[in-house]
């Protein structure tokens, strides 16, 4: 999965190198005990795109206190795409439909230390899904305070401190991919 990602910028290139080294070292990839064992583990994010309306879905994540893509930790021996399918059903109540832009491959990768208690490092694969905004009528209220559909421009106008720290970079990469 990591090799399929074409880096957007130097930071993503660095994150990809970090992920490759982590994998090559034979470190455990999956979280086995919440919140931080092992201290570095795999996450699958998914950004839902309503291509007709040109909007992305973000969720107000309770623990992070930020607007993020939906997603979650990859379970032991679970494929990262299977995690997207599972998390999409659990968090948004819909079936995951891969975007024609990326298929079932991630578009973006980040390596980031989490905030709050149980600080650890998430290696996050960012997938792109396709859905009509009208099909998402519920969400996991235990995990999210709210959901919002935003255009690329609206995402880019959001203050950095209210979003996942890499959301603006992802949005630029997505705009580039959609323009191809």
**Which candidate, 68, 75, 80, places its Cα nearest to that of 146?**
68
Alpha helices by DSSP H, the chain: 10-24, 80-92, 152-157, 167-179
Q: Is the pLDDT score of 114 beyond 90?
A: no
**Mean pLDDT throughout 112-132?**
91
Contact between residue 173 and residue 108 where contact means Cβ atoms under 8 Å apart: yes
Please state, in angstroms and rounded to a whole number, the distance separating the CA atoms of residues 3 and 123.
Answer: 14
First to last CA, the chain: 21
Per-residue model confidence as pLDDT tens digits over 90-113: 999 999 999 999 999 999 999 999
Q: What is the crossing angle of helices 167-179 and 10-24, to 10°?
A: 100
Per-residue model confidence as pLDDT tens digits over 74-88: 999 999 999 999 999
């Amino acid at each position: 999965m990591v090799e399929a990602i074409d880096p957007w910028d130097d930071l993503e290139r660095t994150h990809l190198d970090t992920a490759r080294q982590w994998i090559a070292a034979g470190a455990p990839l999956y979280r086995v005990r919440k919140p931080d064992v092992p201290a570095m583990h795999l996450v699958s994010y998914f950004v839902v795109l309503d291509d007709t309306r040109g909007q992305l879905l973000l969720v107000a994540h309770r623990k992070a206190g930020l607007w993020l893509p939906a997603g979650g930790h990859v379970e032991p021996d679970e494929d990262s795409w299977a995690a997207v399918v599972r998390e999409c059903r659990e968090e948004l109540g819909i079936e995951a439909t891969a975007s024609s832009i990326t298929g079932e491959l991630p578009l973006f990768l980040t390596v980031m230390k989490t905030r709050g208690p149980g600080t650890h490092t998430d290696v996050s694969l960012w997938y792109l899904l396709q859905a009509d905004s009208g099909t998402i009528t519920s969400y996991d209220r235990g995990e999210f305070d709210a959901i919002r559909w935003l255009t690329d421009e609206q995402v880019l106008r959001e203050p950095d401190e209210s979003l996942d720290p890499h959301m603006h970079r992802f949005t630029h990469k997505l705009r580039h991919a959609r323009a191809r």
